[in-house]
Structure 1
Amino acid sequence: MDQGNTAFILIAAALVLLMTPGLAFFYGGLVKAKSVISMMMMSFGAMGLMGVLWVLYGYSIAFPSTAEGTTQVPWTIDFTNFGLASVLETPEGAAYPPLAFVAFQATFAIITVALVSGAIADRAKFGAWMVFAAIWATVVYFPVASWVFNFGLADDASFSYGGWITHGMQDAFGVGAIDFAGGTAVHINAGAAALALALVLGKRVGFQKGAHVPHNPPFVLLGAGLLWFGWFGFNAGSELAADNTAALAFVNTIAAPAAALLAWLIVEKIKDGKPTSVGAASGAVAGLVAITPACASLTPVWAIVLGLVAGAVCALAIELKFKLGFDDSLDVVGIHLVGGLIGTLYLGIFANGTGLIYSGSLTQLMVQAIAAFAVMIYSFVLAFVIGFAVDKTIGFRVKNEDEIAGIDTVVHGEEGYVLSDTRG
């Protein structure tokens, strides 16, 4: 067992876990002051819920054991591994303890679910959100994680070998889809679910351009900074080894979001006349989203180009909700769905060795598109069905008068900012 790589994976897992509190700050700063606790609690609720479900059965769905050298069949459930029963010991010759990988992937499940919540800010019931999150994770995230991340962990046959998006399409087309750290499983998945929930819950009261402004831009910047910091664990850690590939992913996780930040600010300056702090934070996140699937498959120069494209396109894409009439409160669709699609499809052209400019073949672009749109459609349809069912049974949305007043006190009995204490 390599203790250095084991430490690397565990540190990366801790960094990724930090991303969810970072997301809470990022989202919390974007909502109105009387909804900040509600917004941040949805992220912390995801931490609690996913932490438990992953240990009980999430890992057994996402990473069922298969015979060595075989492709894992979609929706396989490993009934021998509920409660992590079969990964408590480290097999002979394994590169690192299976539990290190379990911990790393647990943090991915947490952040993915938390991302969805940004689309329903200011108007969702916390209990309904938790019910939705539990069901969506079970039937969408855990299986999709298996499609993408179940790529083979070691030479020992007790480890999983390959999901259909990566290994399965390689068998069929000669190249598998490239998704190094979760452009499909995390960002496209969450973005599609966010769009579905935004449609189920409907628009906020008074929804129109300029009606809802961020109450705390410093929170947004703090959250973006924590996200960027944690994203090094997200991307570089996905190599599962402290090597040159991890170093390349690390450098590209600097280059792409930096370029996206600049591109977003330029678009803001041209379009609105002023570059904003929220725009800088959003641009950085858009670049981080786009580089996620591509961080180990691009040269740093092509990573900068990807960042420029993602920052500019996402800055324009967030306007779609006003043109198309859906209320994605915190632009999960415009940043995570669009950014994830850009990063995933970009690999079809620029991926080292297999992209069009290197191979002269469109095969890589084809498999990237299959992966991206399969996840998007699957997640959207099931999220819409689950959200609709939750709404029609226990109700997903608070009353209009509670939304207008601010839902923190109604849902949680707390205020984000107590400026004076009149209790005596």
Structure 2
Amino acid sequence: MFENLSEKLERSFKILKGQGKITEINVAETLKDVRRALLDADVNYKVAKSFTDTVKQKALGQNVINAIKPQELMVKIVHDELAALMGGETAQVNLSGNPTVILMSGLQGSGKTTFSGKLARKLKSEKGKRPLLVACDVYRPAAIEQLKVLASQIEVPVYTEEGNKNPVEIAKNAIAYAKQNHLDLVIVDTAGRLAVDEQMMDEIEAIKNAIKPQETLFVVDSMTGQDAVNTAKEFNDRLDFDGVVLTKLDGDTRGGAALSIRTVVTKPIKFVGTGEKLDALDLFHPSRMADRILGMGDIVSLVEKAQAQFDEKQALEIQRKLARNQFNFNDFLAQIQQIKKMGNLKDLASMIPGLGKAIKDVDIDDNAFKSIEAIISSMTAKERTNPEIINGSRRKRIAAGSGTSLQEVNRLLTQFEQTRKMMKAATAMKNPMKMMRAMRGRR
């Protein structure tokens, strides 16, 4: 995401490279480039102009200390202003009420139904909520079926009323059903249109007035750029919604909606969709997004994703096995599966500071682990537990069984042995006395 904007901003800052101090002239030249980069990213013109005016004022008011170069100072100011532009603080979803009622709004095709499923999954797994998904799109049968499929995948109930064409009644009845069945979260998926029209706005307004939700969220496809911002304004004027959800942010290299929408509608971005999978949903963190726009990575989000999949008991068991040189292919496979759960590999790699730009044109296949898993699956239980018994004939059999080559099997065995040694060394470093004894033993 934001690849084009990141590249253009980086070029803008190069104007200040080698400059001894910030002056009216070099700041003006830099910010002219920054404004052009923002406009190319489909940022609202007034927002772009106000942003660069603020940056200029702050840059010229700074005393550049010797330890900080003008280019570095400008990056810092732009970073802080980008974060402020996108809301500054992370906005949390309001989970008060029993049940908590969350109403979805937005145009058809914006991703409301998919987001409803993703949000139900997130709040169920992270907050211990018991969700009910409500199908209030009475015009598009496919929407009801889609919601049912999503609900079955995340194992939550769906409330539908076949034949009832009154979404206000359906929503009210669903809340009563949730109370009767001790469900503490109601997510109401509503109908959208291809464009804003009076009938749609009257309907969603009537639903909101009838059920009085704790949260009304406006869901919008971020790839529509300025159109997304304009539509958000029209919905907000009628609904006074509580927050914005940007979907398909992984496919948007411009980012204009993310940078403009907070200023135009004065409502926070609360969630961003970053992929098609049901776990591809993140809280929106303005400062972290500013990091990513400026090519600084997002190591905090990467750590959080790792922690979400981290099994402390399993980690201690692996540490014990490493100390006894018992780490085997079953453990290796378990680690691969944990990494896969964290999400898209290229997206994860881009969160590492400095790596995003390096892998921009590199094709990282999400199926990169497929051949490794096939090879390990072709081993016998004894071979997985005792890798050292895998001799030449066994290697040939494993290659044939996994549909890979002998070279690939040999490569994996070599990599496995190197990984085992490296992990054992890292574990030993936690015990300096043990490490010193090991070093003395090598002399």
Point out the structure with max Rg over C-alpha: 2
Name the structure where strand makes up a greater proportion of residues.
2
Q: Comparing both chains, which one has the higher relative contact order based on Cα–Cα distances under 8 Å and sequence gaps of 6 or more?
A: 1
After TM superposition, is the score higher than 0.5?
no
